[in-house]
Chain A
Amino acid sequence: MLRFSKQMKRWFAWILLPGIYIVVLLLLQEKLLSRHTQSLLVPLCMNIILALSLNIVVGMLGELSLGHAGFMSIGAYAGSLFSLQTQEYLPTLLRYPLAILLGALVAGFFAGVLSVPVFRLKGDYLAIVTLAFGEIVRSLIINFAWTGGAAGLKGTPRDTTFTTAYLLTVFVWLLSQKIYHSRLGLEMRAVRDNAIAAEACGIDVINRKRAGFILAAAIAGSAGVLYSHYYTILTAGVFDYNRSIEILVMVVLGGMGSMIGSVISAMTLTIAPEALRFLNDYRMLIYSLLLITAMIGRQSRIFGQLQQRLKEVKRPHGAIE
């Protein structure tokens, strides 16, 4: 039986991650990728980041958030506005990482503010409130003048390349691994499994929920900066609840709580609609059917076994410390 031991995982991290990068870079250099495929590389990274970040809330905390695109847009606008202001004074090498950091911080700040009232409530309120939050953010951005309004924010420097997107993806991947095995991650998973018992065991449930929520929002914010510095034109319309649902589907399809699952399903769901382009008018129809089949299929035995193998059930105890 194939088991993912700790050593194999280290292998995965140190050989596979740079390996993928080098292969893609070579393909780009040799011009072996079509323009179309090339244009998918950054969105692919972006979706992986978004799925991994939402997985913190949905998979590790067990809370339903439907406003992830809202945090992404906050990050995107914060990063873009910063870059537009400082474009003339700061070199790209300094400005771009700062923009990402700022995007993450601003999105995290908004999540922090939102989490104060939300986590006083129990149950499905988070889903409702975050859904509303995403829509409020979108309509505010459309109506403000300094965000470019409905016409959008133009002129953001095109700083995002495959390299930067890939670097951020790897960073987020390693970060979410770290979180999962950390004390915070352990406590978050305990809260997910049984909040009442967690409280009785001395875990500050509300605090842990807030921490996870803020972290996820901050990562989504950084993905937003990636987005705005790739497309250079920013309109609030793209960050509607459909986008949030899309991210949620990636997490759910990947098996909630499974990070590798999130990555694989984010990749599949980014590529699938493009790969189905040859179907023309029937594209979205077939895509929806595939999605439904996949959702049903993931409960089947074969998929379950596969997932069990990928899941880190067998884990040396030192990992938690």
Chain B
Amino acid sequence: MEQLNRNPKLSTCLNVLETKGLGIDFGGLTALNSLDFRVKENEICGLIGPNGAGKTTLFNLLTNIYKPSRGSISFMGQDTAGLIPHQLNHRGVARTFQNIRLFHQLSVLENILVAMRPSRQNRVKEAYELLHFFQLDSQSEQVAGNLPYGSQRKLEIARALASNPTLLLLDEPAAGMNPVETKVLSQQISQIRDRFQVSILLIEHDMKLVMDICDVIWVLNFGQFIAYGTPLEIAKNQQVIEAYLGRREAARC
């Protein structure tokens, strides 16, 4: 296959992920309403929005933890309806969680190994390389639950990468990190895209991180997309500013 253009802004490369009219209701409440959404190959895609906008719900739909009330999701051109989450992972979707979900009684190394396919060769070596990338190799024998918070976040990303995904979903990767850690993380996320050739979709509240590393940003509010564009476009978008600050405050800006 021809090498696809790496720069997503210029490329017309294929959609890794695409949703059509995707929505979900919880009882009478429409949490997400008919979303048309896409992530392109090798793209770092930001998903932002105020609290309760439905970002994590969208993640849970994309990973088949929830069943959509309407609409469809296609991953690499194939409909994912009816797949169990672990099957979706085998297809190439990996994720992290907003509240860290590590295998806390397993060692750091085991956390990585267990996420690798058993058929893969040289698992231990590759696991160490992955840990080295995240500067966790010196703690490989430690029990994961004993790691400091920042390292736990990193380990969760490393574990997600261990399954060799095509699409990586990061749910607030910088939550609870200090500014220095956040800065390192944002560099690492860009490196991850280049090194592991993955598309990344990330939810994040740290606007600096989002603006720095995302190629495109989707803004969600009350279960609907209110904006889509490059970081620069989003920063200037009146609707986005209103959603975050409220109408009166926004008018003052």
**Interface-central residue, A189, A201, A203, by most chain B CB under 10 Å:** A201
Q: Which of B54-110 contact A (CB under 8 A)?
A: 63, 65, 84-86, 89-90, 94-95, 97, 101-107, 109-110
Q: Which of A158-196 contact B (CB under 8 A)?
A: 183, 186-187, 189-190, 192-194, 196
**Residue numbers in A under 8 Å from B163 (CB-CB):** 201-202
B86 touches A199 (CB 8 A): yes
A201 touches B140 (CB 8 A): no
**Residue numbers in B under 8 Å from A193 (CB-CB):** 102-106
Partner of A187, one of B102, B109, B114, B160: B114
In the complex, whether A321 has a CB less than 8 A from a CB of chain B is yes
A202 CA to B140 CA, complexed, in Å: 21
**Residue numbers in B under 8 Å from A257 (CB-CB):** 105
Instruction: From B14-22, B117-125, B189-197, B236-244, give the one contacting chain A.
Output: B117-125
Closest CB in chain B relative to A200 CB, distance in Å? 5
Partner of B109, one of A194, A313, A317: A317
In the complex, whether B159 has a CB less than 8 A from a CB of chain A is yes
Closest CB in chain B relative to A212 CB, distance in Å? 15
**Interface-central residue, A189, A197, A199, A203, by most chain B CB under 10 Å:** A197
**Residue numbers in B under 8 Å from A189 (CB-CB):** 103, 105-106, 110
**Residue numbers in B under 8 Å from A205 (CB-CB):** 86
Select from chain B the residue with minimum beta-carbon distance to A195.
Answer: B101
Question: How many chain A residues touch the partner (CB < 8 A)?
Answer: 26
In the complex, whether A36 has a CB less than 8 A from a CB of chain B is no
In the complex, whether A35 has a CB less than 8 A from a CB of chain B is no
In the complex, whether B115 has a CB less than 8 A from a CB of chain A is yes
Partner of A200, one of B89, B110, B118, B143: B89
**Residue numbers in A under 8 Å from B115 (CB-CB):** 201-202
In the complex, whether B233 has a CB less than 8 A from a CB of chain A is no
Chain B contact surface mostly: mixed
Closest CB in chain A relative to B160 CB, distance in Å? 8
In the complex, whether A198 has a CB less than 8 A from a CB of chain B is yes
**Residue numbers in A under 8 Å from B140 (CB-CB):** 317
**Interface-central residue, B63, B94, B114, B140, by most chain A CB under 10 Å:** B114
Partner of B95, one of A200, A204, A315, A317: A200
**Residue numbers in B under 8 Å from A187 (CB-CB):** 114
In the complex, whether A320 has a CB less than 8 A from a CB of chain B is yes
Partner of A197, one of B103, B107, B110, B143: B103
B86 touches A204 (CB 8 A): yes
In the complex, whether B141 has a CB less than 8 A from a CB of chain A is yes
Select from chain B the residue with minimum beta-carbon distance to A314.
Answer: B141
Select from chain B the residue with minimum beta-carbon distance to A206.
Answer: B84
A257 CA to B106 CA, complexed, in Å: 12
A197-B113 contact given A189-B103, A202-B89, A317-B140, CB 8 Å threshold: no
A203 CA to B87 CA, complexed, in Å: 8
In the complex, whether A318 has a CB less than 8 A from a CB of chain B is yes
B86 touches A190 (CB 8 A): no
**Residue numbers in A under 8 Å from B123 (CB-CB):** 321
Select from chain A the residue with minimum beta-carbon distance to B104.
Answer: A193
A205 CA to B87 CA, complexed, in Å: 11
Partner of B86, one of A202, A314, A317, A318: A202
B106 touches A190 (CB 8 A): yes
| 27 A-B pairs in the complex with CB atoms less than 8 angstroms apart | A183-B118, A186-B113, A189-B110, A190-B106, A190-B110, A193-B104, A194-B101, A194-B103, A197-B102, A198-B114, A199-B84, A200-B63, A200-B85, A200-B97, A201-B86, A201-B94, A201-B114, A201-B115, A201-B160, A202-B117, A203-B114, A204-B86, A257-B105, A314-B141, A315-B141, A317-B124, A321-B123
Give me 14 other A-B pairs in contact (C-beta within 8 A), A189-B103, A203-B86 excluded: A186-B113, A189-B105, A189-B106, A190-B111, A193-B105, A194-B101, A200-B63, A200-B86, A201-B115, A201-B163, A313-B141, A314-B141, A317-B124, A320-B124
